[in-house]
Amino acid sequence: MKVLIAGGAGFIGSTVALACSDAGITPVILDSLVTGRAEFAEGYAFYPGDITDGPLIDKIFAEHSDIYAVIHAAALIVVPESVADPIMYYRANVTGSLEFAAHLIRNNCTRLIFSSSAAIYQANDDLTVDEDSPLNPQSPYARTKAMCETMFADIAAATPLRVLSLRYFNPIGADPEMRTGLQVPNPSHALGKIIQAISERTVFHVTGTDYPTRDGSGIRDYIHVWDLATAHVAALERFDVVVGSTQAVLNIGTGRGTTVRELVTAVSRVTGTPVAAADAPARPGDVVGAYTRNDRARRMLDWEPRFGIEDGIRDSLRWAGVRAGKLGDQQLS
């Protein structure tokens, strides 16, 4: 089986490519390298370029007429940047995905897996969500994901393109064999900030301590990126059964909520050293968070997350130690 991965040189796309490759599925990579790394595309058929580039996509399908499905993980993903420059985000993520869909349909593609986000949900009072929960995306970035899903549903209803939207929760960790991981040295999510505080010997700030959670700090569903990647392998293998004739949506999380304070404790356990932490007010845009009621993906994909939160922390820490050397690149900030 061959799969085209748009965004395959990014954090998630490159891990999905490895999981596919390890499972005997051949990845073909399309990536503009706007945030991705050419190193992550090494060893694959790699087409540098944009998802809106019609002639390039025609060329990919001409050279790989046996592409079975497309995974669309190409997007801009930084929430504050989307607040500052919504036009760039709507153009890249919404207009770009619309153009991409048209190019795929012209090339007779019938299977598309779309990287969506749990950030589009309105959580229940118990802070859980399932695929039928109401949507209430809180940032321009999250709204681009919700808009793409709506757009793809309309397109799937009217064309042979069928779409599976995977709503990811909060990926952490790296490829367990350390072949890929996050490209950026200082990720802005809580685990990234904790690791940064450890390495800079500063205090980690728990931002937001009066949320309606068991300890007042925000809650997330951290999923090891390798588990996220293997969900794509399962989704490829079961696409026709899961999606049927139009479209489907699945949450990809663990079903476990971890608060920021619990994350701090888990990191302390993994490193064997207490993390220095202090309470701080919520930052603009911070949200309480949510975790999945996960049954549908497990059932439909016959897939289980294998890794726990401490595995994800351990692999994030290991990757932080090898990243610069792997990417031959100290100057990224």
Contacts to ligand NAD by CB under 6 A: 6-7, 9-13, 31-36, 50-51, 73-77, 92, 96, 115, 117, 168, 170-171, 183
Rounded least distance, CB 34 to ligand NAD, Å: 4
| Cβ neighbour number for residue 126 with a 10 Å cutoff | 11
**Which residues are CB-contacts of 18 (< 8 A; sequence separation ≥ 6)?**
175, 177, 179, 180, 229
Please, what is the end-to-end C-alpha distance for the chain in angstroms? 38
CA 126 – CA 149 distance, rounded (Å): 25
The CA-atom distances, in angstroms, between 229 and each of 12, 62, 85, 235 are 7, 27, 30, 10
Q: Are 228 and 252 in contact (CB under 8 A)?
A: yes
Rounded least distance, CB 225 to ligand NAD, Å: 8
Rounded least distance, CB 49 to ligand NAD, Å: 7
Q: Are 236 and 113 in contact (CB under 8 A)?
A: yes
Rounded (10°) CA dihedral 178, 307, 134, 141: -10
Closer residue to ligand NAD, CB minimum distance, 95 or 199? 95
Closer residue to ligand NAD, CB minimum distance, 6 or 161? 6
Helices (H), 122-273: 140-158, 190-200, 225-237, 239-243, 260-271
Rounded least distance, CB 161 to ligand NAD, Å: 18
Of 44, 47, 141, 211, which residue is the catalytic one? 141
Structure-token pair, residue 29: 């990579």
- DSSP 8-class letter at 118: G
Alpha carbon 278 to chain centroid, angstroms = 29
Rounded least distance, CB 61 to ligand NAD, Å: 16
**Which residues are CB-contacts of 125 (< 8 A; sequence separation ≥ 6)?**
212
Q: Is residue 222 annotated as a catalytic residue, yes or no? A: no
Closer residue to ligand NAD, CB minimum distance, 77 or 197? 77
Closer residue to ligand NAD, CB minimum distance, 182 or 275? 182
CA 187 – CA 195 distance, rounded (Å): 9
Closer residue to ligand NAD, CB minimum distance, 183 or 216? 183
Closer residue to ligand NAD, CB minimum distance, 127 or 182? 182
Q: Which residues are catalytic?
A: 141
